[in-house]
């Protein structure tokens, strides 16, 4: 598959749709206009890649809906060079969005099949996260902490304590919390012990799964 003017036109339309749905962050909309989402999907979905919808990516997982990616990314309020931890690499589309914002991305995936596939895809595309880890996101990445931002891209039944502990003071954790539906939740670390919590509407994610071992 190639990236063509036609794809670019569809991306521009998608960015307009997301702006209409309330995404105001220009850098995030610019990422949507730039990243060739159709290349993150199986070729059978090419015609639909720029609809604001989630699609299957194998191993029972989905690429998040563009609105969701844009919403979560905007809540992170990243600055260039921020250290960001992503839980749930999946197709890598959210990772690519964070890289477009010039952040240093550490990303964890627990499905070996997806981990391998996306690893190869990133090399082919020239996307360079700082680290891609095959492992359990519930534990975060203590050896690289603290982070300016942590984004969880699967539905968490509860907020894993290690993720809170791995935030910088001033850092942001964006996590959908709940079982069937999730409430998008933002925690901002105010001090060693204090966190501000904000909630933003209902979303639906595949579940953040506990370690298989
Ligand atoms: N960010 C991805 C979203 C993929 S869906 C994208 O843009 O495509 C969520 C992903 O989280 C899935 O790939 C799933 O395998 C992964 N996941 C689920 N539980 C996990 C865990 N405990 N640790 C790391 N990844 C997990």
* Mean pLDDT on 108-127: 97
Q: For ligand 1, atom 17, which residue shows the shortest CA distance?
A: 88
What's the CA gap between 63 and 123, in Å, rounded? 19
In short, whether 93's Cβ falls inside 6 Å of ligand 1 is yes
Instruction: Please write the tens of the pLDDT for every residue from 11-26.
Output: 999 999 999 999 999 9
Number of domains the chain is built from? 1
pLDDT at residue number 211:
72
Counting from 1 in the atom list of ligand 1, the atom nearest the Cα of 40 is 8
Average pLDDT, whole number, for the chain? 96
The answer as to whether 74 is a domain residue is: yes
CATH code assigned at 171: 3.40.50.150
pLDDT at residue number 212:
57
Res. 113: pLDDT tops 90: yes
Domain around 127: 57-203
Query: In whole angstroms, how large is the CA radius of gyration of the chain?
Result: 16
pLDDT at residue number 4:
95
pLDDT at residue number 210:
86
Whole-prediction pTM = 0.97
Q: For ligand 1, atom 13, which residue shows the shortest CA distance?
A: 90
The answer as to whether 150 is a domain residue is: yes
The answer as to whether 213 is a domain residue is: no
Q: Give me the active site residues, please.
A: 64
Counting from 1 in the atom list of ligand 1, the atom nearest the Cα of 59 is 15
The answer as to whether 140 is a domain residue is: yes
Three-state SS letters, the chain: CCCCHHHHHHHHHHHHHHHHCCCCCHHHHHHHHHCCHHHHCCHHHHHHCCCCCCEEEECCEEECCHHHHHHHHHHHCCCCCCEEEEECCCCCHHHHHHHHCCCEEEEEECCHHHHHHHHHHHHHHCCCCCEEEECCHHHCCHHHCCEEEEEECCEECCCCHHHHHCEEEEEEEEEEECCCCEEEEEEEECCCCCEEEEEEEEECCCECCCCCC
What is the distance in A from the centroid of ligand 1 to the CA of 205? Answer: 9
What is the distance in A from the centroid of ligand 1 to the CA of 5? Answer: 31
Residues 6+ apart with CB under 8 A from 184: 71, 72, 75, 174, 175, 176, 199, 200, 201, 202, 203
In short, whether 64's Cβ falls inside 6 Å of ligand 1 is yes
The answer as to whether 31 is a domain residue is: no
The answer as to whether 2 is a domain residue is: no
What's the CA gap between 120 and 89, in Å, rounded? 13
Q: Which of 90, 132, 133 to mutate to test the pocket of ligand 1 (most atoms within 8 A of CB)?
A: 90
What's the CA gap between 185 and 173, in Å, rounded? 8
In short, whether 96's Cβ falls inside 6 Å of ligand 1 is no
The answer as to whether 48 is a domain residue is: no
pLDDT tier at 51, thresholds 50, 70, 90: very high
**At which residue do the structure tokens 């998008």 appear?**
184
% of the chain residues with pLDDT over 90: 96
Instruction: Please write the tens of the pLDDT for every residue from 134-189.
Output: 999 999 999 999 999 999 999 999 999 999 999 999 999 999 999 999 999 999 99
């Amino acid at each position: 598959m190639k990236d063509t003017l036609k794809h670019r036109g569809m991306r521009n339309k998608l960015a307009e749709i997301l702006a209409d749905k309330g995404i105001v962050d220009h850098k995030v909309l610019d990422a949507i206009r730039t990243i060739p989402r159709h290349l993150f999907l199986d070729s059978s979905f090419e015609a639909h890649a720029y609809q604001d919808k989630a699609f299957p990516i194998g191993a029972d997982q989905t690429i998040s809906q563009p609105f969701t990616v844009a919403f979560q990314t905007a809540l992170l309020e990243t600055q260039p060079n921020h250290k960001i931890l992503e839980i749930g690499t999946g197709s890598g589309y959210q990772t690519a969005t964070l890289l477009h914002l010039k952040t240093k991305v550490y990303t964890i995936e627990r499905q070996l099949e997806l981990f391998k596939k996306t690893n190869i895809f990133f090399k082919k595309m020239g996307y360079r996260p700082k680290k891609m880890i095959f492992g359990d996101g519930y534990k975060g990445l203590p050896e690289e902490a603290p982070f300016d931002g942590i984004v969880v891209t699967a539905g968490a039944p509860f907020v894993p304590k290690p993720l809170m502990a791995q935030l910088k003071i001033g850092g942001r954790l964006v996590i959908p919390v709940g079982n069937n539906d999730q409430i998008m939740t933002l925690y901002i670390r105010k001090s060693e012990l204090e966190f501000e919590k904000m909630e933003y509407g209902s979303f639906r994610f595949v579940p953040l799964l506990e370690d298989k071992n």
